[in-house]
Chain A
Amino acid sequence: MQFGIFTVGDVTTDPTTGRTPSEHERIRATVAIAKKAEEVGLDVFATGQHHNPPFVAPANPPVLLASIAAQTERILLSTSTTLITTTDPVRIAEDYAMLQHLSNGRVDLMMGRGNTGPVYPWFGKDIREGISLAVENYALLHRLWREEVVDWQGNHRTPLQGFTSTPRPLDGIPPFVWHGSIRSPEIAEQAAYYGDGFFSNHIFWPASHTRQMVQLYRRRFEHYGHGSADQAIVGLGGQVFIRRNSQDAVREFRPYFDNAPVYGHGPSLEEFTRQTPLTVGSPQEVIERTLSFREYAGDYQRQLWLMDHAGLPLGTVLEQLDLLGEEVVPVLRKEFAALKPAHVPDAPTHAGLLAAREQTAGTTDTRTLEEAS
């Protein structure tokens, strides 16, 4: 099981002080947060991709992640999400293959469609074509990483004749891909078809909905012959604010919640924690809530938390990461590992995929030798 954080990189005024960080501060803070995530023992750092204020840090995910790769040793770098609809799949193929090389394989990606209407026309696309763009662009990306020379023609970009995406994926192994979707069954179907991962960012949605999406993905994963339904690769979003004492967590987080860009001025903190996975409380409460996700998502492979939005100052976010890394994740690792049946795989990593290929190659070699003797 992998544990990590994902950021949306918003520049938001701290409602308790009225202070707004500069873009530069926010971008440097994002790098500091990623380094801290590695330091406290988390497995994954993922960044969103946005092209509109107040989301400044993630306008250039490959650049951000390359910088973080240079300053870290171990943490896996990912996206949450890469806009497969409005980003040219050729750019995605080349940028992230490059990042694979620079980070020694510490890369995977999460595809998403994005949710800001004007982003589509800004990039020459039509939001009504969202699903079609996600399907076609990913089909091309999938080929660009797997075929040396690609001839291709589609509806959404200029055709390619004799095109080679460079650099080629590290060791010939494309980055593992997750498909993120909150409400579109087509995307769960897409993830199942390719045997890719499915990520349900259920931080803004009730559990009943997440259950439906994950069940659909698992059922179709089995249908397409990638393994049994419970072997499908599932990731979940989450959102927590932790203090040792539950009341302190609620008191401190409430003004950030009440003014958050996404759900602020809507439901109360109490309603939102009841209706969505948001957990504001002690480490023990976060542990119990997170373990309960398994009841409706099954044994899953990746848990990401949103920790750094809504104007929370950097110092607070770093303290949160300490609590997460020291008091929450070690317990969750043990508990989830004890619950997981042996036939349920871990999330694929570059090292794991490489080892699996070498093992297969090794078996073939042995057989060839045996046949020869």
Chain B
Amino acid sequence: MTTLHLAVVTAGVSQPSSTRMLSDRLTAATVSALRAADPSLEVVTEVVEVRDVAHDLADNALTGFASPELQVRLDAVSEADAVIAVTPIYAASYSGLFKLLVDVLPKESLRDVPVLLGATGGTARHSLAVDHALRPLFAHLGALVAPTAVFAATEDWGGDSAGLLGERIERAGSSFARLVSGSPRERAADPFADVVPFDQLLARSGR
């Protein structure tokens, strides 16, 4: 039986949070699509509520190291086989807290990692923020960003369009599942276990 580690980063701040609701639904859709494709697959999901470590993130930005509480969450994201990242849209972009988390992730930790993007906002007029703000950020990180992302406006949770949000989530989840079940990521070398021998460091310099 294979195990897949899925990290879910969710950056809503209210309780209950529509960002968290969207995260949970995207997670459920992804997991069920993965299990449908491979019933023997075990999916371990770790949810990172950015709000819980908001102060720790600011501290890390200032001191350069993570508190134990934050470190556990950074490890979950940087060691995941796939990541779902969902943020509220503030002022035409991802939230500041969401970006703080991205800023303190270890370098290269999302390279070649499949990522499903989601965002929430007041009205559908903010939906392009996913493509003009979130997508370039994850392109910079070298992530394998799923082509289908989900933006949920407040009105999507009720009224005539409510059913449509569910369909979009299902579609995003199953498309993401196909991306995830491609080749698993290469693990980065442990710099403490695999040290570059000094003669190689020296050879790169003069004599």
Partner of B192, one of A154, A185, A265: A185
Number of A-B contacts (CB under 8 A): 77
Taking a contact as CB atoms under 8 Å apart, the answer to whether B205 and A136 are in contact is: yes
Q: Is A341's beta carbon under 8 Å from chain B?
A: no
Instruction: Please give, as numbers and ranges, the residues of chain B lying within 8 Å of A140 by CB-CB distance.
Output: 206
Q: Is B67's beta carbon under 8 Å from chain A?
A: yes
Taking a contact as CB atoms under 8 Å apart, the answer to whether B207 and A154 are in contact is: yes
B76 shortest CB reach to chain A, Å: 17
Quick one: given A136-B206, A185-B195, are A263 and B62 in contact (CB under 8 Å)?
yes
Instruction: Please give, as numbers and ranges, the residues of chain B lying within 8 Å of A216 by CB-CB distance.
Output: 192, 195
Instruction: Please give, as numbers and ranges, the residues of chain A lying within 8 Å of B91 by CB-CB distance.
Output: none
Quick one: given A189-B195, A189-B196, A193-B198, are A135 and B205 in contact (CB under 8 Å)?
yes
Taking a contact as CB atoms under 8 Å apart, the answer to whether B63 and A204 are in contact is: yes
Quick one: given A189-B195, A216-B195, A275-B68, are A267 and B63 in contact (CB under 8 Å)?
yes
Contact residues on B (Cβ < 8 Å of other chain), bracket? 20 to 34
Partner of A154, one of B64, B195, B206: B206
In the complex, per-residue mask of A179-211: 1 if CB is within 8 Å of any chain B CB, else 0: 000000110111011000000000011100100
Q: Is B59's beta carbon under 8 Å from chain A?
A: yes
Q: Is A131's beta carbon under 8 Å from chain B?
A: yes
Partner of B207, one of A152, A188, A272: A152
Q: Is B159's beta carbon under 8 Å from chain A?
A: no
Instruction: Please give, as numbers and ranges, the residues of chain A lying within 8 Å of B195 by CB-CB distance.
Output: 185-186, 188-189, 216, 220
In the complex, per-residue mask of B39-72: 1 if CB is within 8 Å of any chain A CB, else 0: 0000000000000000000110011110110000
Q: Is B197's beta carbon under 8 Å from chain A?
A: yes
Cα–Cα distance between A152 and B58 once the two chains are bound (Å): 47
Taking a contact as CB atoms under 8 Å apart, the answer to whether B192 and A155 are in contact is: no
Instruction: Please give, as numbers and ranges, the residues of chain A lying within 8 Å of B205 by CB-CB distance.
Output: 132, 135-136, 139, 154-156
Q: Is A266's beta carbon under 8 Å from chain B?
A: yes
Q: Is A153's beta carbon under 8 Å from chain B?
A: yes
Partner of B63, one of A185, A186, A212, A263: A263
Q: Is B202's beta carbon under 8 Å from chain A?
A: yes
Which A residue's beta carbon lies closest to that of B65?
Answer: A205
Quick one: given A189-B198, A193-B198, are A153 and B65 in contact (CB under 8 Å)?
no
Interface set, chain B 5-60, CB cutoff 8 A to A: 58-59
Cα–Cα distance between A152 and B205 once the two chains are bound (Å): 11
Which B residue's beta carbon lies closest to that of A157?
Answer: B206
Instruction: Please give, as numbers and ranges, the residues of chain B lying within 8 Å of A204 by CB-CB distance.
Output: 63-65
Partner of B198, one of A156, A190, A206, A275: A190
Residue of B64, B206, B207 with highest tally of chain A CB at under 10 A: B206
B175 shortest CB reach to chain A, Å: 38
Q: Is B201's beta carbon under 8 Å from chain A?
A: yes
Instruction: Taking A205-B64, A272-B63 as given, write out 20 further A-B residue pairs in contact, using a Cβ cutoff of 8 Å, ordered by the A residue number.
Output: A132-B204, A135-B198, A139-B202, A139-B206, A140-B206, A152-B207, A153-B206, A155-B205, A155-B206, A156-B206, A185-B195, A189-B197, A204-B63, A212-B192, A220-B195, A263-B62, A267-B67, A271-B59, A275-B65, A275-B67
- Pairs A–B under 8 Å by Cβ, sample size 6: A139-B202, A140-B206, A185-B196, A190-B198, A266-B59, A267-B62
Interfacial residues, chain A to chain B (CB-CB below 8 A):
131-132, 135-136, 139-140, 152-156, 185-186, 188-190, 192-193, 204-206, 209, 212-213, 215-216, 220, 224, 262-263, 265-267, 271-272, 275
Interfacial residues, chain B to chain A (CB-CB below 8 A):
58-59, 62-65, 67-68, 191-192, 195-198, 201-202, 204-207
